[in-house]
Structure 1
Amino acid sequence: MPEARTFSEFIRIPIRFYQTIGEDLYEHRSPYRIRRLLLKSLLYLGFLNFNILVVGEIIYFVKALNSFATVLEATGVAPCIGFSFVADFKQIALTVHRRTLREHLDQMEESFPKTAMQQVEYKLPQRERVMRRVMGIFALLCLAYTSTFSLYPALKAAVQYWLLGAPVFKRNFGFAIWYPYNATEKTWVYWLTYMGQVHGAYLAGVAFLSADLVLVASVTQLCMHFDYISRCLEEFAGRSESSSSQEDLQYLQALVVKHAKSLELSEHVNRIFSFSLLLNFLTASLTICFIGFQVTASSTEDIVKYIIFLTTMLVQVFVICYYGDELMTASQRIGDAAYNQNWFDCDRRYKQLLAIIIMRSQKPASIRAPTFPPISFRTYMKVISMSYQFFALLRTTYSGKGN
């Protein structure tokens, strides 16, 4: 039997990503004061630089809208602004709910199966394998998008200048941002500005990515607990003999407590992530729309970058909706498992506890955003439908003006 996994190993990926931008979710446990100060400085300076870049993007976008000749440039900046807003507000939500998040992680660690035998019973290896594949694909796409946009201009210019014999090194940027100074006139100014863009893009990608990875890890563990409760209910047959009915009752009471605790943890997830999820879905349709428009109207060189961006956004929305659907299904299954038990000849108190479990499962645990129904595959289809409607409108408007 393999060695037992720890909760720290289970949630390692988002924790490590956050630390690369200076955000330490376990800061309160660290005894190293200087390390905490260095990480905080990295985080604050990084977000200061990032938000200055966002302001520059907004100014560029407004200026580009003033002329029809630059509308395509404006629609190219719009998805980046939307992505930046979501990354910013995810970090704000994390900061506002930091205490709740720490309590949530502590409680998740407390309820995490500790021994190798327990982890096999909970089917942790299978759950973790799927979770890591999802995290790996999403992280690869998200970082591929930010890296492609930020690093491609310098790599292209270097190849043209050093290998193909171009007369000058073209000083271009990956993102269209307005600067109050000439960012390409002097070499040191250009590279300093360029490095600022690269770091800002990486920080946005990690802030956007890591919040969703924490959500995925939380929902994975909750689904694991709900599935375990369902299996225990299905496999356990209550008995009517007075000698054993008390033991049955105690067993079922433990499952009721575990069920209630899992429902409480699912509410923690909603308190922490509901606002960022709301903004995420509100901007996702417009962002996907603008990216799709760029794919149909840009040059071949830019199409590759925007296809990566489009794939990233589609996968991100799909992942959230997939895990939302999984959470609802896993929690609903508990009521079915309780009803399918051989409870006919059981003690009256046992039946009452089963009824409580069934009633609780009628309102399944779910991921929710304010004013939105519980997130599921229906939400994904709605986002895609709205994106296509916006895209068709934008495409028709642009074609009409062009004629």
Structure 2
Amino acid sequence: MNTENYLICFKLPILILKTFGFWKEEPWSKLRWMYSILIRYLFLDCIVIAYSVHLIKSLGIRSIADISTTLSYLLTIYGLFFKSMWIIIKQKKIRSMMKSLEELLKVTSFGKTNERNLMQHENNRMMKVERIFYGSSIVLAFFVLIKAIAFDSRIGKIPLDTWIFFNMEPNSFLYWLVVAQECFATLFVIIVNFSLDMIQIVFMHYLTVMLKELSIEIESIQPEDDTKDYDRFCKCVDCFVQLKDLGGEISTHLSLTFFVQAILSSVILCTSAFLLSTLSFTNEMPIIIRTVIYGISMMIQIFLPCYYGNELTLISNKISTTLFHSKWLDGSKKYKKAVTIFMENAKRSINISAFGFVFVDIGTLTTILNSTYSLYALVSKLNTK
């Protein structure tokens, strides 16, 4: 198995970002540049303006439930706008990090030559996660289309309430043009949003798997042949140091997008929960289904980075324990000294964080859910007054 297959988990999110003009290809032609600007204008900039105007016009006129619905969609689009700009700015650095990861994979093939069953197994698992991740966005966009055809068209409504600068007759050509634009925009916003998040998630995935391989290699070292085993151990030390450096780069260049998403997810999940509490199960079932699917998509979007960040920290913490329980006491004085130094270094685990205090782990996920509930309780209380 070659290194290109190891990095297969990056292919789908990067392919999607390339398709919609958010990942710069080399060389970047003028036609491709114009296509990127057009896509961004039609399905991001225009939507930001339309929903912002709609939200402003809704204040003081419409109910809190209607405003919360608009706000949740608008925050998703704002999040995409910021994250896409950040990824474009950091794209050269991300490419450099991917190159470093590829080089590290080439020189750290532990065990039998060209056999990395653990890596292949975990990559297959990640590919399944990606399919579920993107599948939820396709389901949501498809449901928006079905809702428009089966329900909204009967009363001349568009699927997602927004500001439109022209008059539109129900079931006219312009009406269906807006419906098609909203359905495609829903798919566009969610899958591009997911792809931007997947870049960080996949990096954490590879670091976690390589730390697992490293742990297995450390356990297998039998310090009998002084020179050979010492060289193997030094290779492990070098791998750990490089993984730690790569983890630091992820925190520096990618975790800001998680910080933004964490804040937005708290509000979006709150507004979705509040909206569900105001809807009628008999008269507004299509809106309920759409809101549930949307809420699940947002939940997956914040759960996955927290899960993989938590897994990375846990396996990193186990390296020191694995070292301690290995047969290092049977080695030479030089070997034991190297292990002692490495154990001290391994005590500082690999943590992905934004600004050094917002950690990408399950603890942060719990905080987000607690904040969501607090916001929900506050909004519900305001709505009853």
The answer, yes or no, to whether TM exceeds 0.5 is: yes
| Counterpart secondary structure, 2:63 | helix
Q: Is 2:276 the partner of 1:295?
A: yes
Alignment of 1:383-398 (within 5 A): 383-398=368-383
Q: Is 2:22 the partner of 1:23?
A: yes
Alignment equivalent of 2:92, drawn from 75, 96, 99 = 99
The one-letter amino acid of 1:221's match is: Y
How many Å separate the matches in 2 of 1:51 and 1:227? 43
8 Å contact from structure 2 (residues 9, 127) kept in 1: no
Kindly tell me: are residues 5 and 118 of structure 1, through their superposed partners in 2, closer, same or farther at Cα, counting changes over 3 Å? farther
Alignment of 1:3-402 (within 5 A): 6-7=5-6, 9-24=8-23, 27-28=25-26, 36-49=29-42, 50-67=44-61, 69-112=62-105, 118=113, 120-121=115-116, 123-149=118-144, 151-156=145-150, 170-184=155-169, 187-239=172-224, 244-298=225-279, 299-370=284-355, 372-400=357-385
8 Å contact from structure 1 (residues 11, 214) kept in 2: yes
The one-letter amino acid of 2:53's match is: I
How many Å separate the matches in 1 of 2:169 and 2:78? 27
| Counterpart secondary structure, 1:123 | helix
Residue range with higher mean Cα deviation, 301-310 or 42-51: 42-51
Per-residue deviation at 1:128?
1.2
**Deviation per CA, 1:223-270, whole angstroms, max 9, x where unpaired?**
11111111111111213xxxx322222221111111111112212222
- Taking structure 2 as the reference length, what is the TM-score of the superposition? 0.89
8 Å contact from structure 2 (residues 2, 114) kept in 1: no
How many Å separate the matches in 1 of 2:172 and 2:305? 43
How many Å separate the matches in 2 of 1:292 and 1:234? 48
Per-residue deviation at 1:184?
4.0
How many Å separate the matches in 1 of 2:84 and 2:364? 23
How many Å separate the matches in 2 of 1:22 and 1:38? 11
Kindly tell me: are residues 381 and 288 of structure 1, through their superposed partners in 2, closer, same or farther at Cα, counting changes over 3 Å? same
8 Å contact from structure 2 (residues 168, 175) kept in 1: yes
8 Å contact from structure 1 (residues 46, 199) kept in 2: no
The one-letter amino acid of 1:54's match is: V
How many Å separate the matches in 2 of 1:61 and 1:353? 62
How many Å separate the matches in 2 of 1:95 and 1:129? 28
Per-residue deviation at 1:170?
5.0
How many Å separate the matches in 1 of 2:171 and 2:297? 35
Name the Cα RMSD after superposition. Answer: 2.5
8 Å contact from structure 1 (residues 226, 330) kept in 2: yes
Residue range with higher mean Cα deviation, 80-89 or 184-193: 184-193
Kindly tell me: are residues 218 and 282 of structure 1, through their superposed partners in 2, closer, same or farther at Cα, counting changes over 3 Å? same
How many Å separate the matches in 1 of 2:338 and 2:78? 47
The one-letter amino acid of 2:270's match is: C
8 Å contact from structure 1 (residues 53, 197) kept in 2: no
How many Å separate the matches in 1 of 2:340 and 2:380? 55
Percent sequence identity over aligned pairs: 17
How many Å separate the matches in 1 of 2:170 and 2:123? 51
8 Å contact from structure 1 (residues 321, 380) kept in 2: yes
| Counterpart secondary structure, 2:328 | coil
Aligned position for 1:164: none
Residue range with higher mean Cα deviation, 371-380 or 275-284: 371-380
Per-residue deviation at 1:193?
3.5
The one-letter amino acid of 1:46's match is: I
